[in-house]
Amino acid sequence: MSTADRIFDTGLLSPVTAGADGSVSDAAIRLALVDVEVAYLRALEASGIAPAGLADRMAQTPIPPAAGLAQRAVLGGNPVIPLLADLREHLPDDVAAWVHKGATSQDILDSALMLTAHRARAIVLECLAETIEQLARLADTHRGTTAAARTLTQHSTPTTWGLRFATWLGTVLDARDDLAGLELPAQLGGASGTLASLVALSDGGTAARMPALFAAELGLAQSPAWHTSRAPVTRLGDSLVAVTSALGVIASNVSTLGRAEIGEVAEPSAHGRGGSSAMPQKQNPVLSVLIRSAALRAPALASTLHLCAAMAIDERPDGAWHAEWPTLRELLRLALGASTIAAELVTGLTVDADRARHNLELSGDDILAERASLTGTTGTAADYVGLSDALIDAALARARS
């Protein structure tokens, strides 16, 4: 078996994440771990605990890729322990002596995962910004494109495609705001969350300043130690699910309303995309399918994070903490993949106004029954759009603010 074949997960069974998850790869997380150790040493210097200049020398020292880091992590139950051995082996003795001094493995790994999430979030938010811009464009363009609204799968009253896009836009804006406003904290508590080692190295006042200094070095939020208070992880997981769910709404609607017998909307085409291995006439809505796959997988992962939070006992969880790592990483992968694909989907999405009008007319005057029951006259489809323009304008204003 070749070296390439021994790489366990390249997204072969998760095409929604393939090519979009580099920011949460093993290599990216290892880099974050090193960055956290450098930031911690900078905080030690800034507090006056460690001599000045050590962190710069550490940052400038080439650290080769860690061979077998995952396998060696089995011995101590986490990757920080073997990584420290690698760092100390390649650093000058006076620098190595201060690496990780006063910290614990959970401080470094939790902070590295939040740093990784911070970096991945920036990519997700960039993709969501593109999706928001394109949904706003579609809502404005199609504010007069009438269609049959569907409730419980059946024709209900007339609506417009512009209002439909505005509704999707609002859902994505909510998810974007939740994710963007989320505080991602650094972790620093020492062996049992009391900062006792840092107190031993300095004094109580200096040790108390260290969490803020450390967080500032990483560009993360400051927080009291959260070794067993896992709200930062569950909140992040919930925000990521909100993203995949919002994008899943779009994908589900596109795949349904793009069915051959409905045909009101179509995904952007690309050479080789959407083909069938057995039926050459088919053009499958692959982008929507992949986004839906992420939306279906994500909620169960978030529930795992909540289960782990409930099992975070004593001052250091035994297994619950460890179960969070791959779960949170997978949620980040799904949000990265779904948001990347969603931006492409809505950018090239097309609406068939004639087909929408045809479908609207299938119900004849029955689709106007609500107005007739209220006023005694059916009116026209245009009479049913009501405040749709105002609702669209409100969504556009929010998107552009």
Beta bridge partner(s), residue 128: none
132: exposed, middle or buried (C-beta count within 10 Å: 0-12, 13-18, 19+)? buried
Catalytic residue among 88, 209, 235, 316: 316
- CB neighbour list of residue 149: distance below 8 Å, 6 or more residues apart: 155, 156, 157, 158, 159
Residue 254 in contact with residue 216, Cβ under 8 Å?
A: no
- CB neighbour list of residue 365: distance below 8 Å, 6 or more residues apart: 378
Q: Does 333 qualify as catalytic in the annotation?
A: no
User: Any idea of the CA torsion for 355, 358, 363, 364, to the nearest 10 degrees?
Assistant: 160
Q: How far apart are the first and last CA of the chain?
A: 54
Spatial distance between the Cα atoms of 170 and 143, rounded to a whole number of angstroms = 15
Q: Does 316 qualify as catalytic in the annotation?
A: yes
Smallest CA-to-CA distance from 193 within 238, 145, 227 is with 227
Catalytic residue among 57, 229, 273, 276: 276
Enumerate long-range contacts of 286-289, CB under 8 Å, 24 or more apart.
287/251, 287/254, 287/341, 287/342, 287/344, 287/345, 288/250, 288/251, 288/252, 288/254, 288/255, 288/258, 288/345, 289/251, 289/255
Smallest CA-to-CA distance from 36 within 220, 206, 194 is with 220
What is the helix (H) or strand (E) element at residue 156, kind and residue range? strand 154-160
| Residues known to be catalytic | 276, 316
